[in-house]
Structure 1
Amino acid sequence: MSPAHPQIPVLELSGAPSQLGEGHGEQQRDRIREYSERLLEWQLRESVLPASEQTLWEKWAPQVSHNERFAPHLVAEMRGIARGAGVPFERIFLLNSTLDLVSFCYLEMGVNFGCTSFAVSREPGTERTLVGQTYDMPELHQDYLVILRIKPQQGPRQLLFSFAGVIGAGGLNEAGIGLAINFLSCRDVGLGRLHSCVVREVLAGSNLAEAVGAPVMPPRAGGAHYLVGDDSGNLVSIETTGKQFQVVYPEGNAIGHTNHYLAASLKDREYIRPQAIGSSLARYAALHRYLRETGDQLNLSRLQELTRSHTSFPRSICAHGSDQEATGFRSRTLAAMVHVLNDRTLHITSGCACQNEYAAVNL
């Protein structure tokens, strides 16, 4: 285990929310400036509705006050990132809204988002709890991966996978809580808490009860699946739309998810994306079979092997993008990761797991 990663920058952040943000912004100034520019360009290019930066922000600006009401410390951290990086706050807020913007009104952009999450309650031989996923997005995001090691003024220390300028996309904390997420596309989107804010609220929990409250509290800006676990082997799978949620518990030792709703009660709220649903269904079939057939042999090594699966290549668990997608914008696995909750350690690749080695980073 190491405090560093050979390919992904690890940021050491501590203090009040504004200090966390300013440290993040200062350490990643050039990457944040470049990322915010490239991402905005992509968002405007891919939008099915004509938009400029001004009209996009006018549409999205009401989300700021809503998130300040529910998570003022996290919006303060975003403002700190903006100051530290010398980037307008509006662009930092848009960076932190990437998944939510897709849900809100630019629906066809969702073809580019697909992740596969999984968790094992008890690893054979060690009794450790494992929570992980592949993180699949357009390849333009690849250049901006970061790991955040956060020591807030209040609450548990956190180790987060994220992107330059983004407050969090998944991770674990010193209380033994771990989180993986999947993008889900729903119709009841609107004003609500951002994905990135929910991630941080989960990992601010000192126990499972505190952690699982964050995803289920409406309203949310968009849909997602939150796979939450603790180091005692308890796992909770939470599917959300903007206003509804459904909880599922593993029937055996493992559970997994892709990018379509499984709960019958939420199906009428799902927005099915024609170019994305096939990949999600195929990845779920491969995932479900692997978890079932591997059974009591599901350990860290076997989960890392799962992240290299090429069933339905190139739209597979280890995603490589389609030839029909433009170069630079192909949806591919940016990182594969497994959180070992009992060790407070993140095992993660930079890029596809079939081409890159895992490295361990500890809290």
Structure 2
Amino acid sequence: MTQTIEPFPLIELTGGPEARGRLYGRMAKARVHKSLSHYGTQLAGQGRDAGAVRAMARDFVPRIEAFEPDFVAEMRGIAEGADVAFEDIVLINCRTEVLQLAKRAEALAAIRKEPDGCTGAILLPEATADGSVIHGQNWDWKSECAETGVVLRIRREDGPDVLTFVEAGGLARCGLNAAGIAITANYLESDRDYTQEGIPLSLLRRQALNQEQVALAFRSLYSTPKSGSNNLMLSHASGYGVDIECAPDESFLVQAEGGILVHSNHWQSPVALAKLKDMGLVSTPDSAYRDRRVRDALTARRGKLTMDDLRAAFFDDWQSPWSVCRPPRMNLGGNLSATVAMILMKPAEGLMEIAPLPALNRNFTRYTLAAEGAAVRAA
């Protein structure tokens, strides 16, 4: 049985980084506070008080500032607008890295209990009915985050406009820009994780969306040092798509086959598998078939694929609740997990469609880079 769930609100931001941040903080204040309350409860359960966590976040700031000073200015603005501590906004943007680098052994155990899942796909022109690029993902994470997500439409003065879905207070998660670049990300884990300090993954995604050129977006994803592993899927409206499997210190490419590229939460590159140990399948065993389920459904209609075909593939419920489209269920660490959002994008049109908790709710909201507001439609 399906139900209607509140769509993610659309927030339009203008001005310089700090001004955008203040506007963002004011307009998303309730959701920012809800997000912080959720993570605060989690941290308290791990025996960490707010002061200690804020101190960890402060230590992280110089690295972010050296990478992109505007990100720090934007986060300061968000904190001011939402009436929260600056360090709390840093934590939202670096939630994984701040905790894990503070105490590696304990942190690694924590993330294996709560992996950030996802199944992503890119459809290139040779596979689609109208010759366009279609890019999307199911974001699997804590089911409570269906109440904290927002969509940002960022009118930039120094680069292409950006449309991004993100947890309130964050700078980016997945999205597209006015230059035709789109990005999604999937959880990966390896034996190299959290042995070095790197740039937070959410900020890498925002940096890619800030770019006019695919080469510069690719460079920021491929070569920037990271703390943990991650899979990054990059596409461009002109017909380009690539998957970048990232270890903290090295990246590996996976290319589309027949115009179709699908990735879940295990390493695919033969070169990567020859050089590192895949640690993620223990906590996300359903990844072993999720990518194959989606790929097979898409391959059956290669050359005729539309956004509705990708939508149908992402709704796959074989082996539910351990399925491509995950209803709220307890994960192996005893935490409530779900497909928080299904995101579908057409970069050439600046179009994004999102359904919160799609296993329960089949209503999508359409967001665009154009001036009109969000529009809700039934799948």
Normalising by structure 1, we get a TM-score of 0.91
The match for 1:188 is 193
Aligned partners of 1:111 and 1:275 also within 8 Å:
no
The match for 2:25 is 25
d(CA) in 1 for partners of 2:199 and 2:68?
8
* Cα offset, 1:274, TM superposition: 6.0
Deviations 1:250-283 (CA, angstroms, capped at 9, x unpaired)? 1211101111221233345446146523121121
Q: Number of aligned residue pairs: give it.
A: 355
d(CA) in 2 for partners of 1:250 and 1:289?
14
2:337 equivalent to 1:319: no
For 1:42-121, list aligned pairs within 5 A. 42-45=42-45, 47=46, 50-101=47-98, 104=101, 105=104, 106-107=107-108, 108-112=110-114, 113-121=116-124
For 1:186-335, list aligned pairs within 5 A. 186=190, 187-189=192-194, 190-267=196-273, 268-270=275-277, 272-273=279-280, 275-323=282-330, 329-335=335-341
Aligned partners of 1:142 and 1:334 also within 8 Å:
yes
Aligned partners of 2:31 and 2:168 also within 8 Å:
yes
d(CA) in 1 for partners of 2:301 and 2:330?
32
Aligned partners of 2:140 and 2:339 also within 8 Å:
yes
d(CA) in 1 for partners of 2:34 and 2:277?
34
Aligned partners of 2:172 and 2:205 also within 8 Å:
yes
d(CA) in 1 for partners of 2:339 and 2:188?
17
Aligned partners of 2:211 and 2:217 also within 8 Å:
yes
Which blocks of at least 5 consecutive residues in structure 1 are unaligned? none
The match for 2:362 is 356
* Cα offset, 1:195, TM superposition: 1.3
Find 2:163's aligned residue among 159, 164, 168: 159
SS of the equivalent of 2:329 reads coil
The match for 1:133 is 137
SS of the equivalent of 1:94 reads helix
* Cα offset, 1:218, TM superposition: 2.6
Q: Percent identity?
A: 25
* Cα offset, 1:167, TM superposition: 0.8
**What amino acid maps onto 1:85 in structure 2?**
A
d(CA) in 1 for partners of 2:199 and 2:241?
23
Deviations 1:129-153 (CA, angstroms, capped at 9, x unpaired)? 1110011111121101100000122
Relative to 1, partners in 2 of residues 1:322 and 1:169: Cα closer, same or farther, differing over 3 Å? same
SS of the equivalent of 2:300 reads helix
d(CA) in 2 for partners of 1:171 and 1:142?
17
Normalising by structure 2, we get a TM-score of 0.87
> What RMSD in Å do the two structures reach over aligned CA positions?
2.2
Which blocks of at least 5 consecutive residues in structure 2 are unaligned? 370-379
d(CA) in 2 for partners of 1:32 and 1:318?
26
Relative to 1, partners in 2 of residues 1:324 and 1:218: Cα closer, same or farther, differing over 3 Å? closer
Relative to 1, partners in 2 of residues 1:116 and 1:100: Cα closer, same or farther, differing over 3 Å? farther
d(CA) in 2 for partners of 1:114 and 1:10?
24
